[in-house]
Amino acid sequence: MTEKSSFFPCLLYRDAAAAIDWLKETFGFTENFRVPGPDGSVVHAELGWRGDTVMVNSAGDGPRLATEIGQAGTYLVVDDPDAHHARAAAAGAEIVRELKDEDFGASRGYAARDPEGNVWVIGTYQPGTVPVPPPA
């Protein structure tokens, strides 16, 4: 039995339509749906990644899914960080941390900033898989 997701990142953009296009082209997200607002804005959109969802909307439209533009940090799990990094770099993403093997285990990744300032950390580390030590 597959569990339903119960945790969804929410990002606010000045130009959510452009951000959606950028996230699709640069990182490989799919657009699940979009609710258009006035003047090309986005009231609400959902982008898919490996069965999960990130919600996006334009500043000033609909409910506030985030508090500030460009201040989110989101982690994205990928199978091949080298290929993902190459795709992002080729698309012109600002790489803020180069591709590297992490000190804390079998993980490899990099970080990039989207056009409105949000930082995306991308790598092979799967949160929730490292055993938590018992309390002392």
Q: Report the CATH number at residue 28.
A: 3.10.180.10
Residue 52 is assigned to a structural domain of this protein:
yes
Residue 46 is assigned to a structural domain of this protein:
yes
Q: Is 81 exposed, middle or buried (0-12, 13-18, 19+ CB in 10 A)?
A: buried
Tell me what pLDDT residue 15 has: 93
Please answer whether residues 36 and 83 qualify as being in contact, where contact means their C-beta atoms are separated by less than 8 angstroms.
no
Which residue, among 61, 57, 48, has the nearest Cα to 10 in the 3D structure?
57
Tell me what pLDDT residue 110 has: 96
Q: Is 30 exposed, middle or buried (0-12, 13-18, 19+ CB in 10 A)?
A: exposed
> Tens of pLDDT along 76-110?
999 999 999 999 999 999 999 999 998 766 789 99
| Rounded Cα–Cα distance for residues 45 and 42 (Å) | 7
Tell me what pLDDT residue 1 has: 47
Residue 128 is assigned to a structural domain of this protein:
no
Residue 51 is assigned to a structural domain of this protein:
yes
Residue 26 is assigned to a structural domain of this protein:
yes
Residue 130 is assigned to a structural domain of this protein:
no
Tell me what pLDDT residue 60 has: 76
Structural domain that includes position 49: 10-60+69-123
Number of domains in the chain: 1
Residue 47 is assigned to a structural domain of this protein:
yes
Tell me what pLDDT residue 136 has: 65
Residue 5 is assigned to a structural domain of this protein:
no
Give the residues of the chain that fall short of pLDDT 50: 1
Residue type, 17: A
Check residue 67 and give left, alpha or beta (phi > 0: left; psi -120 to 50: alpha): alpha
